Amino acid sequence: MTTRRNFIRTSVTSIAVASTITGYATPTIGSGSSPALDRLKPMTDDVKPISLEERKMRIEKAQKLMAKNKIDAIYLDGGTSMKYFTGVEWGNSERMMAAIIPAKGEVKYVAPHFEESRLRELIKIGNDVRVWEEHESPYKVVAGIFSDWGIKTGKIGMEERVRFFLFDGIRKEAPHLEYISADVVTVGCRMLKSAAEITLMQKANHITLEAYKAAYAQIEEGMTQGDLSGLISRAHSKLGARGGAFVSFGEYTAFPHGSSAPQKLKKGDVILMDGGCSVEGYASDITRTFVFGEPTKRQREIWNLEKASQAAGFTAAKLNDPCENVDIAARKVITDAGFGPGYKVPGLPHRTGHGIGMDGHEWGNMVLGNKQLLKSGMCFSIEPTISIYSEFGIRLEDCAYMTEQGAKWFTQPSESIDKPF
């Protein structure tokens, strides 16, 4: 497995970024009835959630990885890993609610006493809930679980999103144990998606693309980036998913994650929309870039260069080759055209892609130095950007997944600057 720094993920998904852009979700133009949006119908009627049997298989795999790496148990705070293994979705607060998976035995849960009934409604795997009252220490409860399992010495794996105060409290209560990263277990399971997971991600990607198409049909001169973002959000909702996108116009498309500067669309502006949605907890991430009106020769040239870069990255995604090859191949197309080198702007200022799954950004980054080998079930974006400050930026982003036959797209890339869909 690659070193931690090579597959570290960012906690900011495209959707999260969208919510920080000024004007997002406050549309004015196009906020009423519109033919393109009115025609949309939910696409989620055939969606099948992850089965209980699959979650049990995930725990079995985790326990095998624990045994292989001499880890006695892993501790999960509320978040996507807890949902991945147990099916329990829980919002975090200062009160501990945790799931602990042992190398042998059943999952146990720790929760405030007054939350026990609510938690039991959600539990699908295991039935042992250890509770604590408001004046009591939840850390002692966790230490007691370790003791019950006979863990007198050994290693406890901490999932990467465990908050420090929880880790610190447990460590102080059970200082005789060694605390290590649980990545070898959690990443070892989550990075390789099952057929059911890929089906959910395929649905999410199809929904986002349809939402983009509907919003694209409503674009008008004078609208703000918030107007268009709002249309995309509404389209996702009508299609049956919660999603959205951040939008940039003109010179602000050169900023990879947009700008808070107020923007009004005018003829000749480049438009960039980047976002996605979630279906049963699985994410999409798509970027489309095009021109409002007739593209200039310069805009066409840069768009075509970006398309060639994305295609080169996809071609380089081969089973058992390192993730970095995708970045190397995509970046070479851009630097050979005179941009860069490296991350220098004008050029490609960031990695070529990121892993994706339950989180918008996960392990398996397409970045120089990541020697992680591409395996069947890995899912990732391919999104080289060409940023030219004070002019415009072009990014084309589609997600791909690895099969035994090679890489496959979740969505087909844009055909041309005139036919973004």
The CATH number of whichever domain residue 129 belongs to comes to 3.40.350.10
Statement to judge: residues 315 and 343 lie in one domain: yes
Contact 250, 235 (CB under 8 A): no
What are the angstrom distances between the C-alpha of 79 and each of 161, 278, 329, 364? 8, 15, 35, 19
Q: How many domains does the chain have?
A: 2
pLDDT of residue 35: 83
Statement to judge: residues 222 and 363 lie in one domain: yes
* pLDDT-based confidence at residue 93 (cuts at 50, 70, 90): very high
State pLDDT tens for residues 114-123: 999 999 999 9
State pLDDT tens for residues 223-261: 999 999 999 999 999 999 999 999 999 999 999 999 999
State pLDDT tens for residues 156-181: 999 999 999 999 999 999 999 999 99
pLDDT of residue 36: 85
Helices 52-68 and 183-190, axial angle in degrees (round to 10): 140
Using DSSP bridges, classify how beta strands 362-366 and 406-409 pair: parallel, antiparallel or unpaired. Answer: unpaired
Nearest to 22, CA basis, from 331, 263, 377, 362: 263
Statement to judge: residues 243 and 315 lie in one domain: yes
39 within domain boundaries: yes
The residue from 147, 181, 215 where one domain ends is 181
382 within domain boundaries: yes
pLDDT of residue 17: 34
Statement to judge: residues 167 and 220 lie in one domain: no
Nearest to 218, CA basis, from 39, 42, 37, 40: 37
167 within domain boundaries: yes
What DSSP string describes 318-336? -TTSBTHHHHHHHHHHHHH
Q: Where residue 389 sits, what CATH number does that domain have?
A: 3.90.230.10
What DSSP string describes 266-286? -TT-EEEEEEEEEETTEE--E
State pLDDT tens for residues 35-81: 889 999 999 999 999 999 999 999 999 999 999 999 999 999 999 99
pLDDT of residue 12: 31
Cα gap 323→354, rounded to integer Å: 10
The residue from 181, 216, 247 where one domain ends is 181
61 within domain boundaries: no
Q: Give pTM, 2 decimals.
A: 0.91
Cα gap 147→140, rounded to integer Å: 10
149 within domain boundaries: yes
The residue from 136, 158, 181 where one domain ends is 181
Domain containing 367 equals 4-47+192-409
Cα gap 341→274, rounded to integer Å: 25
41 within domain boundaries: yes
Statement to judge: residues 130 and 251 lie in one domain: no
Judged against a pLDDT cut of 80, whether residue 135 lies above it is answered with: yes
421 within domain boundaries: no
Contact 337, 394 (CB under 8 A): no
Judged against a pLDDT cut of 60, whether residue 287 lies above it is answered with: yes
State pLDDT tens for residues 391-408: 999 999 999 999 999 999
288 within domain boundaries: yes
Q: What is the mean pLDDT of residues 377-401?
A: 98
Statement to judge: residues 301 and 320 lie in one domain: yes
Q: What is the mean pLDDT of residues 188-208?
A: 98
Cα gap 421→417, rounded to integer Å: 9
Report the SS3 class of residue 296: coil
Continuous H helices in 316-412:
324-336
Judged against a pLDDT cut of 80, whether residue 33 lies above it is answered with: no
pLDDT of residue 34: 78
Statement to judge: residues 176 and 197 lie in one domain: no
Statement to judge: residues 163 and 34 lie in one domain: no
Cα gap 353→237, rounded to integer Å: 27
Judged against a pLDDT cut of 90, whether residue 8 lies above it is answered with: no
Statement to judge: residues 330 and 379 lie in one domain: yes
Judged against a pLDDT cut of 90, whether residue 136 lies above it is answered with: yes
Judged against a pLDDT cut of 70, whether residue 14 lies above it is answered with: no
pLDDT of residue 291: 98
Statement to judge: residues 298 and 218 lie in one domain: yes
Statement to judge: residues 221 and 303 lie in one domain: yes
What are the tokens at 349? 């200022």
Least confident range from 15-29, 278-292, 308-322: namely 15-29
Statement to judge: residues 111 and 39 lie in one domain: no
pLDDT of residue 355: 98
